[in-house]
Amino acid sequence: MDLSYTAEETAFRGEVRAFLKARLPYEIAEKVRRHVELSKADMERWHAILNENGWLAASWPKAYGGAEWTAVQVHIFDEEAAMAYAPRIVPFGIHMLGPVLIKFGTEQQKAEILPRILSGADWWCQGYSEPGAGSDLASLKTRAVREGDHYIVNGQKTWTTLGQHANRIFCLVRTSTDGKPQQGISFLLVDLDTPGIEMRPIRLIEGGHEVNEVFFTDVQVPCSNLVGEENQGWTIAKYLLTHERTNIAGVGHSNQALEQLKALAKTQRRNGQRLIDNPLFAARLAQIEIDLEAMKITNLRMLADAQKNGAPGPESSILKIKGTVIRQAINDLARRALGPAAAPFPSEDLDPNLTIAPRDHTNTAADYFNNRKISIYGGSNEIQKNILSKTVLEL
Amino acid sequence: MQFEATEDRRMLADTLNRFLSTEYGMDVRNAAAYSAPYHAPEKWTQLCELGTLLALTSEEQGGFGGTGFDVTAVFEPLGRALCPEPALPALMAIRLLAAAGHDLEPAMSGTTTYAVAIGEMEVPYGLDGLSTTARPGGDGFRLTGRKSVVYGGHIADRVLVAAHREGSADDKPGVFAVNAKDITVSGYGLIDGGGAAELFLEDAPAELLLADGTAGLQDALDAGALALCAEAIGAMDVLFDMTLDYLKTRKQFGTPIGAFQALQHRMVDLKTEIEQARSITILAASRMGAPDQSRAVSMAKNLIGRTAQLVAEESIQLHGGIAMTWEYPGSHYAKRLVMIDHQFGDADYHLERVMAAHQVA
Ligand SMILES: Cc1cc2nc3c(=O)[nH]c(=O)nc-3n(C[C@H](O)[C@H](O)[C@H](O)COP(=O)(O)OP(=O)(O)OC[C@H]3O[C@@H](n4cnc5c(N)ncnc54)[C@H](O)[C@@H]3O)c2cc1C
């Protein structure tokens, strides 16, 4: 047993830290610190800065412009980036489509699309879920019917995150109704400016516009936009799911959020006492801290396994479940820490000179509500438990 | 033993439920709750005409209620409808005015809208350590300080303020009345709907209502907390039913998701906790006016705080993505249920009070 990082890994951490210090724009970090929504330009700017350094696509092979980092390096970067209040990388192109194309794409697709992901020329969004197909994704109904050298697509996708910024969408579509539902699904790339596509915003619980629904009416998509074989979409989606699973625990972000919460608890005063000196509050804080320390090690153990075996196993569902629960517990406690000051609606109507909650915490309650999503998307925690009980416990 | 509400209270609750379900549907509610003045004045007038405020006032004071069970009979329907009308500040004001032997007519008729300003930035809950001060001046007093997140403060004509008299030997907060036009009021909307305000008092002329306001203020806070418990019960009942209904209709994997035992047990847990929360609220209502009123209310507010959050979070989770949307009514119920814990003492604050009662006993 040796819990220390290697000399190279420690040196890498130093390099990451220095880079973040030098290159992460202050205005962007401030927004992240204050949980203010990032603009499209902010996200593109950060991507460009990373890309300039060759760090945007951390786990892609070097041949495709990636950094080819090990899982541990990716982890170190995520941890440091979170602590520095760097924005998260928009996952759809970098973490989702990129790995899929590298594994299943044609040479032409790779040559055309991967550089555009890196340069920011394309913003991709993910079109998997449908109103009737959430947890049961394989029941999806959006049809793609082949006519000559085109597919004609009809149907509806929903929950499309940041679709409002996107120019392209990768979709799971039904190309066959024979056999098991999983066997008739294909992975299709669609330009969002194709006639017949309409995108509508969905407003979330806290008021933000982050997701959309996308309607397809007789949309013509060239057959060359198919990734992999026709009806191979489910295999691709499953491959992607395992890829999504490294760093699924969000340990870096929890760590940063916990530090922020501790700082808050030291400045918040309640009835003549600092909040952190209140035994009930301090106990809650300490419990989360214990859970998070354990999670960090659980995460590293699974990372080490993944590094050894090539891919994370089904045990990584543990990371998703516990990681999201811890994240949400921190959001919960931060909200409580503010007391009544958590209540004002963080809207434009609110006088910015009116300090009620401390400056970095005007969005804390909104953030708490918004983050209820993390135990729902990416495979809900119930679905993760089903996976664990079936595949790991063999129940 | 008799756990049914009396005929009168049942009729009142029915009347309110009927009015709210026809006149205060979700569209009306959201339009009112999220844009200034963060309530619907004409609906509030109608609610008052139906006897809402009279029910919160005792017979000696000219009303027809005022007991704990009257408070719960009014606030459960308001909770069911997620109603952002300012019944809570009205209730607290009526109790304070009554304790001061003041004329209740303007408050009860709704001709004067009151708010009650106790909490401050560093004293969010309770009465210990308030820093707003009163000094003799003019033919009354002058108040200086800031009151924070005053519910209904944005629409009040007159505000009842807890403040310490400068130079007084005791450490007891008094209760003073100020006119809203004599202070700076910065109003805003709340994340769960409804409105509040920051009140800035700078040598504001004030009338003394209670020199020692400790008991009166505590009673107002207790009544307010009880009202919130009842409101939460109403909102939890609706959100639970909505979730149950969704589990029976939403299909995934070819079957209603309610067929999954993993979800069934969680619904049973919610049901159990809601019944427990209902029971402790009944207990608290029954103790209003008794020596252990504050302890019973703290027990209720603690359990409500825990349960309301559980119901909110589980309902969202069990719905999946749909309950994360603004369009789905359940999301607004969830927000209200969570934010109730931020009013008049969160679960930890009330837990401490129950713990303190052990020390005394
Ligand atoms: C903010 C947000 C962003 C999203 N972004 C995207 C995106 O960019 N692209 C995209 O394609 N999708 C996206 N999603 C969709 C997300 O993946 C789905 O919400 C998720 O798969 C759950 O599906 P559902 O919402 O339809 O819930 P349902 O599947 O209807 O589930 C409802 C409830 O039933 C439970 N349940 C379902 N099946 C079982 C079972 N067999 N056993 C036990 N419990 C079960 C679920 O866990 C949940 O609690 C997003 C969702 C949200 C909320």
Residues of A in contact with B191 (CB under 8 A): 206, 342-346, 365-366, 369
Q: Percent of chain B beyond pLDDT 70?
A: 99
Mean pLDDT (whole number) for B300-315 = 98
Query: Cα torsion at B280, B349, B309, B268 (round to 10°)?
Result: -40
Mean pLDDT (whole number) for A211-230 = 98
Mean pLDDT (whole number) for A343-364 = 87
Neighbours of A382 (CB within 10 A): 20
**A363-391: per-residue pLDDT in tens?**
999 999 999 999 999 999 999 999 999 99
Mean pLDDT (whole number) for A211-223 = 98
d(CA A64, CA A151) in angstroms, rounded, equals: 29
Structure tokens at B314: 């589980």
Mean pLDDT (whole number) for B255-265 = 98
Q: Given this model, what pLDDT does residue B111 score?
A: 87
Q: Which of A156, A267, A271 is most worth mutating to test chain B (most B CB atoms within 10 A of its CB)?
A: A271
Of A217 and B139, more confident: A217
> In the predicted model, is pLDDT for residue A256 greater than 90?
yes
Name the phi and psi angles at A57, rounded to 5: -100, 80
DSSP string, B122-176: TB-SSSTT---EEEEETTEEEEEEEEEEEETTTT-SEEEEEEEETT-SS-PPEEE
Mean pLDDT (whole number) for A248-259 = 92
Q: For chain B, which domains are there?
A: 7-103 (1.10.540.10), 115-212 (2.40.110.10), 216-360 (1.20.140.10)
State whether the beta carbon of A218 lies less than 6 angstroms from ligand 1.
Answer: no
CATH number of A7-89: 1.10.540.10
B269: Cα separation from own chain's centroid: 26
Q: Given this model, what pLDDT does residue A244 score?
A: 67
Of the given ranges (A308-322, B25-39, B205-219, B272-286), which has the lowest mean pLDDT? A308-322
Of A200 and B357, more confident: A200
**B67-109: per-residue pLDDT in tens?**
999 999 999 999 999 999 999 999 999 999 999 999 999 998 8
**From ligand 1's centre to the CA of A313, what distance in Å?**
22
> In the predicted model, is pLDDT for residue A311 greater than 80?
no
The answer to whether residue A352 neighbours chain B at the CB level (below 8 Å) is no
CA distance, residue A179 to nearest chain B CA (Å)? 16
**A91-115: per-residue pLDDT in tens?**
999 999 999 999 999 999 999 999 9
Mean pLDDT (whole number) for A76-81 = 95
**From ligand 1's centre to the CA of A137, what distance in Å?**
9
Mean pLDDT, rounded, of chain B: 96
A264: Cα separation from own chain's centroid: 26
Q: Given this model, what pLDDT does residue A206 score?
A: 97
Q: Given this model, what pLDDT does residue A310 score?
A: 76
CA distance, residue A136 to nearest chain B CA (Å)? 5
Tokens 């139906």 belong to B50
**B192-215: per-residue pLDDT in tens?**
999 999 999 999 999 999 999 999
Mean pLDDT (whole number) for B19-25 = 97
State whether the beta carbon of A235 lies less than 6 angstroms from ligand 1.
Answer: no
Burial of residue B361, with CB atoms counted within 10 A of its CB: 0-12 exposed, 13-18 middle, 19 or more buried: exposed
For this complex, say whether ipTM is above 0.95: yes
Which pairs from A27-31 meet CB under 8 Å and 24+ separation?
A28/A86, A28/A87, A29/A84, A29/A85, A29/A86, A30/A85, A31/A87
Which pairs from A115-120 meet CB under 8 Å and 24+ separation?
A115/A65, A117/A57, A117/A93, A118/A51, A118/A56, A118/A57, A118/A65, A119/A51, A120/A44, A120/A47, A120/A48, A120/A51
State whether the beta carbon of B266 lies less than 6 angstroms from ligand 1.
Answer: no
**A112-129: per-residue pLDDT in tens?**
999 999 999 999 999 999
State whether the beta carbon of A384 lies less than 6 angstroms from ligand 1.
Answer: no
Q: Given this model, what pLDDT does residue A220 score?
A: 98
> In the predicted model, is pLDDT for residue A246 greater than 70?
no
Q: Given this model, what pLDDT does residue A314 score?
A: 84
Mean pLDDT (whole number) for B230-237 = 98
Burial of residue B169, with CB atoms counted within 10 A of its CB: 0-12 exposed, 13-18 middle, 19 or more buried: exposed
d(CA A145, CA A174) in angstroms, rounded, equals: 8
Structure tokens at B196: 């509040």
> In the predicted model, is pLDDT for residue B36 greater than 80?
yes
Determine whether the interchain pair B348/A336 forms a contact, defined as Cβ–Cβ distance below 8 Å: yes
Closest CA to B221 of B339, B87, B356, B125: B125
R_g over Cα of chain B? 21
CB A318 within 8 A of CB A388: yes
Q: Tell whether domain A124-233 is in CATH 2.102.10.10.
A: no
Q: Where are the domains of chain A?
A: 7-89, 124-233, 249-392
Residues of B in contact with A346 (CB under 8 A): 191
Mean pLDDT, rounded, of chain A: 95
- pLDDT band, very low/low/confident/very high, at B349 (cuts 50, 70, 90): very high
**Active-site position among A80, A230, A244, A348:** A244
For a ligand 1 pocket test, name from A135, A204, A367 the mutation site with the most ligand atoms within 8 angstroms of its C-beta: A135
A198 catalytic, yes or no?
Answer: no
**A323-336: per-residue pLDDT in tens?**
999 999 999 999 99
Type of residue found at A73? Q
Whether this model's pTM surpasses 0.95 = yes
Q: Is the peptide bond before B37 cis (omega within 30 degrees of 0)?
A: yes
Q: Which of B116, B118, B121, B311 is most worth mutating to test chain A (most A CB atoms within 10 A of its CB)?
A: B121
Of the given ranges (A212-226, B164-178, B305-319), which has the lowest mean pLDDT? B164-178
**A54-66: per-residue pLDDT in tens?**
999 998 999 999 9
Provide the CATH topology of domain A249-392: Butyryl-CoA Dehydrogenase, subunit A; domain 3 (1.20.140)
Neighbours of A61 (CB within 10 A): 11
Residues of B in contact with A202 (CB under 8 A): 325-327
Atom of ligand 1 nearest to the CA of A133: 26
- pLDDT band, very low/low/confident/very high, at A204 (cuts 50, 70, 90): very high
CB B184 within 8 A of CB B75: no
Neighbours of A26 (CB within 10 A): 8
> In the predicted model, is pLDDT for residue B168 greater than 90?
no
Q: Given this model, what pLDDT does residue B361 score?
A: 63
Q: Given this model, what pLDDT does residue A240 score?
A: 86
CB A344 within 8 A of CB B149: yes
State whether the beta carbon of A211 lies less than 6 angstroms from ligand 1.
Answer: yes
